[in-house]
Amino acid sequence: MPIQQLPSHLINQIAAGEVVERPASVVKELLENTLDAGATRIELEIEQGGSKRIRIRDNGCGIPKQELFLALSRHATSKIASLDDLEHIRSLGFRGEALPSIASVSRLTISSQSEHSEHSWKLSGNGGDEFDDPEPCSHPQGTTIDVRDLFFNVPARRKFLKTEKTEFRHLEDVVKKIALSRFQTAISLKHGVKTILHLQAANDRASSERRVAEIFGPTFMEQALYIEYDAAGLKLWGWVGLPTFSRSQADLQYFYVNGRIIRDRIVTHAVRQAYQDVLYHGRHPAYLLFLELDADKVDVNAHPTKHEVRFRESRLVHDFLYRTLHKALADIRPNDDTQQASDNHFLSGAETRTNAPINYPFQAPQGSLNIPVKEQGEIYSQPHQADNKGANPFMPSSHAFNQYTPASLPVQTENTYNDTGEIPPLGFALAQLHGIFILAENAQGLIVVDMHAAHERITYEHLKKSMAKDNIRSQPLLVPNPVAVSKKEANCAVEYADIFNQLGFSIDRLAPEKLVIRAIPSLLKSADTASLLRDVLADLIQNGSSERIQQSINEILSTMACHRSVRANHRLSTPEMNALLRDMERTERSGQCNHGRPTWTQLNLNQLDKLFMRGQ
């Protein structure tokens, strides 16, 4: 067959195959156009999951009569005019392919009145590349696009559509994602005669959180942390779910770059790393995050559907996301402003947090219940006391670990009041329940603490800090361990040699495709270091960073912390229980144990009243 120019209609249908996969794809492209047009109100009407009809109406700037034909022509756009514009894209759409692609596989009508015109006009097409002449119509400022009978002229594509319910679920998901990218825009969605979404414009944080709660569910907002942080030309803000609000699926993970929702492995890896020390195994975090950066630092022209982007400095973005989220999650602890997980927290780049000792010289009255608590003053500190026989010879600075005692015990005076009325966040201990739980009273009501889980986290965090202070100790191998790798992996090992040295590894290159391990971190003497090395190299090649070695070390420290923490049925005295509560208030990530389980919960007075039907 000779080389020939494809007809324009066939070109449009090929382009439609890249842009229009299903009704949800049409809605995505049309919604992005309405937002680029400055719309503050958008109405969507859907029939039969979108395959029969998609009608979208906005109050944006509109399209003049003379530009209606251009709007339905390929590569025609008002959003870029030069290469410089392409490198500084802020709009959601810019390719100029969406409308002609949609028009080529549907019966499309576009009605519009521009902001500078007194008249409105309508243009219709029937699945080809030719359209009727514009006709006058009645329409307020803005644009209405009516898409009927999607894929009517491409039956091979139409038969790949799923059921009406499935297609509408995909479409609704797109609407929700875009609705969360523009809080100031009111959006409504109808399917048939039923209104599915009716989102009012949100102009402040409180109303924005109501929109998030409507889409993510109120439970997410009850257990979400609000963050806002900027550094190095990057700004991250939004809501991240507390570790207690984890998911079995990665279905509530929305990430936006300059207002555009994206899927990116760099982002996913950074978030997963930030949660790795607080999330239960096999669970996924939930988050709604917005990253803002200069337009020239991100390439949004990486994929026809614009779901993917390329960062100019991916390592910088990865480290910024990881460190910001890691700090935010570490700072979640009981404090005076937030007594329950349901309260929202705030982390600001301008805010400085200190870990200064918390001193409560007086104890709230506890004698009224007259609960007998046997005083055993040394039990809480026993797991930390020196035990030379049980000392781990491979622990760096084991003496420092063994000498650890809980943060200074507050001076306890029974039945004395604090003159200022100040009560610490986790309150004061009342009793120990079945040797497992600590019951405490704070200003809001009753606190229940899992004694072992809480102490395990406290011990674990102390071990990690001591390890970081003393650095990772390296242990030479009596017999060096050769490892066969690819040439790319060997090059990577040479490039990141300094990182391996910092982590206690000594690695040399013997041949283009062979490495040799000469020294390893002393804590990993029993690990499969060859497999670990390959996994680390894979991370470095893909993401430019790796936490696998540190994770392996942390797993050992976590096991040690578990064995060194107070066990069930250990009877604690009131001062010991209070010392544990104060340590929890000081310790990072104290809301979860090393395995991601919660360490404490709060029952406020309203909840207690409901249990006993008080006031009903």
> What letter represents residue 415's amino acid?
N
Give the range among 1-10, 442-451, 515-524, 602-611 with minimum mean pLDDT. Answer: 1-10
pLDDT of residue 32: 92
Measure the CA–CA gap between 252 and 56, rounded to whole angstroms: 26
pLDDT band with cut points at 50, 70 and 90 for residue 532: confident
pLDDT of residue 94: 64
Is 287 in a helix, a strand, or coil?
A: strand
Measure the CA–CA gap between 55 and 147, rounded to whole angstroms: 6
pLDDT of residue 72: 84
pLDDT band with cut points at 50, 70 and 90 for residue 14: low
CA angle 105, 187, 123 (to 5 degrees): 35
> Count of CB atoms within 10 A of residue 608's CB?
12
Pick the closest to residue 269 from 255, 258, 280 (CA basis).
Answer: 255
pLDDT band with cut points at 50, 70 and 90 for residue 349: very low
Going through 395-544 in order, the beta strands assigned E by DSSP cover 428-433, 437-441, 445-450, 474-484, 506-511, 514-521
Domains of the chain: 8-199 (3.30.565.10), 205-348 (3.30.230.10), 367-468+561-611 (3.30.1540.20), 473-547 (3.30.1370.100)
pLDDT tens-digit map of 107-118: 999 999 998 888
pLDDT tens-digit map of 555-566: 777 777 777 777
Tokens representing 234 are: 């990057």
> What letter represents residue 262's amino acid?
I
Residue 306 has pLDDT above 80, yes or no: no
pLDDT tens-digit map of 382-408: 544 433 333 333 333 333 333 333 433
Measure the CA–CA gap between 300 and 291, rounded to whole angstroms: 14
If you compute the radius of gyration of the chain from its CA atoms, what whole number of angstroms results? 30
pLDDT of residue 302: 64
Measure the CA–CA gap between 332 and 537, rounded to whole angstroms: 32
> What letter represents residue 107's amino acid?
R
pLDDT of residue 583: 93
Instruction: Pick the more confident residue, 250 or 129.
Output: 250
> What letter represents residue 37's amino acid?
A
What element of type H or E holds 322? helix 314-330
265-272 long-range contacts, Cβ below 8 Å, gap at least 24? Answer: 265/542, 265/543, 266/311, 266/314, 266/317, 266/318, 266/543, 267/291, 267/317, 267/321, 269/318, 269/542, 269/543, 270/317, 270/318, 270/319, 270/321, 270/322, 270/325, 271/321, 271/322, 271/325
Tokens representing 107 are: 């019966």
| DSSP code at position 243 | T
Give CA 376 to chain center in angstroms: 44
Give the range among 196-200, 388-392, 472-476, 527-531 with minimum mean pLDDT. Answer: 388-392
